[in-house]
Amino acid sequence: MNNPLTNDLNHILTNTVCLWEDLRGKQIFVTGGTGFFGCWLLESFAWANDRFKLDASVLVLTRDPDAFRRKAPHLASNPAIQFLTGDVRTFEFPPGEYSHIIHAAPLGTQHTLDFAVYCKARKFLLTSSGAVYGSPLSEYGKEKIEAERLCAVYAKQYDIDAMIARCFAFVGPYLPLDAHFAIGNFIQDAIRGDPIQVKGDGTPYRSYLYAADLAIWLWTILFRGESCRLFRGESCNTYNVGSAEALTIADLARLVAQTIGTLGDVKIAKTAVSGQPIERYVPDIHKTETELNLHQWIGLPESIRRTVQWHTAMGEER
């Protein structure tokens, strides 16, 4: 079977070609490896491992390996990708040394950091969230701030290069269309030819980075980022990950309709209230761009088209 992500994966390799030598002959450990982020990390790892003959391997922690085999059989059957069944908060530490750890699960940060110490990991990447900038902070935002603090403490105490990627909003293949992601819901409505439903008033601002660009950013931060060791009091080094190209939710719905060519209308559930503060969930990526030379290569209309093409192809295969 031809990989429908071939163009995306070649794009990732073109922009990470100088990074992969770090993994030659190494083992890496990934939590959250069967979700949206994880699938892109595994896709790009497998692609690089094969093309550059890295002889590297990855161990993926998951509660349900069988579900992932149904979701991505080509990845589950890749001999360089193995699975450890367990809960991220309590998993038994596997034997051996793992040079790099990517913690993309929402929980279990301290347990995974303990494993990093146990297995003598050199580099650790935490996928945090833009929710840490909320005011007031959500419970999720508070949990992510605590996870970042733990990373900084362990980095300093155990001399681990621990990097923090504060991730915002994304679109691309593997993004669920029936979950709580607005852009996924809009794409699903448009594919079906139904009216695109905006549940609020459409005024909040969002921005979306394509998943292939996301993979480039995460690998680059892992391999080339500055560690988050505590400095200047309680501050620690972090990198924002996302697009700086903001648009309102209402305009996003119209863009999805226009890009896909849906026959359905855009329906906005609520009327905007004059004078209300406008919510923004858009990152400042100046630091990430300038320090690591990272960019948004694939624009939002093309990102939407590629997402639709992948979901259509997967639907036909099933």
Torsion of CA 150, 156, 159, 163, to 10 degrees: 50
pLDDT digits (tens, 9 = 90+) for 39-63: 999 999 999 999 999 999 999 999 9
> For the chain, which domains are there?
6-170+208-242+280-301 (3.40.50.720)
Tell me what the pLDDT averaged over the chain comes to: 94
For residues 258 and 308, is the Cβ–Cβ distance under 8 A?
Answer: no
Indicate the range of 67-81, 131-145, 261-275 predicted with least confidence.
Answer: 261-275
Distance, CA of 267 to CA of 59 (rounded, Å): 45
Has residue 134 got a pLDDT over 90?
no
Indicate the range of 19-33, 72-86, 266-280 predicted with least confidence.
Answer: 266-280
Give Cα separations from 28 to 58, 122, 123, 180 (angstroms).
5, 10, 10, 30
Q: Residue 314's pLDDT band (boundaries 50, 70, 90)?
A: confident
Please tell me the predicted confidence (pLDDT) of residue 136: 87
Has residue 284 got a pLDDT over 60?
yes
Name the residue with higher pLDDT: 10 or 230. 10
Please tell me the predicted confidence (pLDDT) of residue 113: 98
pLDDT digits (tens, 9 = 90+) for 162-209: 999 999 999 999 999 998 999 999 999 999 989 999 999 999 999 999
pLDDT digits (tens, 9 = 90+) for 84-126: 999 999 999 999 999 999 999 999 999 999 999 999 999 999 9
Please tell me the predicted confidence (pLDDT) of residue 233: 53
Q: Residue 127's pLDDT band (boundaries 50, 70, 90)?
A: very high
Q: What are phi and psi of 241, to 5 degrees?
A: -125, 120
**Span 16-21, average pLDDT:** 97
**Span 147-153, average pLDDT:** 94
Residue found under tokens 């999720």: 140
Has residue 1 got a pLDDT over 70?
no
For residues 58 and 80, is the Cβ–Cβ distance under 8 A?
Answer: yes
Has residue 292 got a pLDDT over 70?
yes
In sequence order, which ranges of the chain are alpha helices (DSSP H)? 6-14, 36-51, 65-71, 73-76, 109-118, 139-158, 182-192, 211-224, 249-260, 286-292, 300-317
**Span 133-151, average pLDDT:** 93
Joined together, the tokens standing for residue 104 give 């993309």
Question: Which residues 6+ apart lie within 8 Å of 250 measured at CB?
Answer: 198, 201, 202, 203, 266, 268
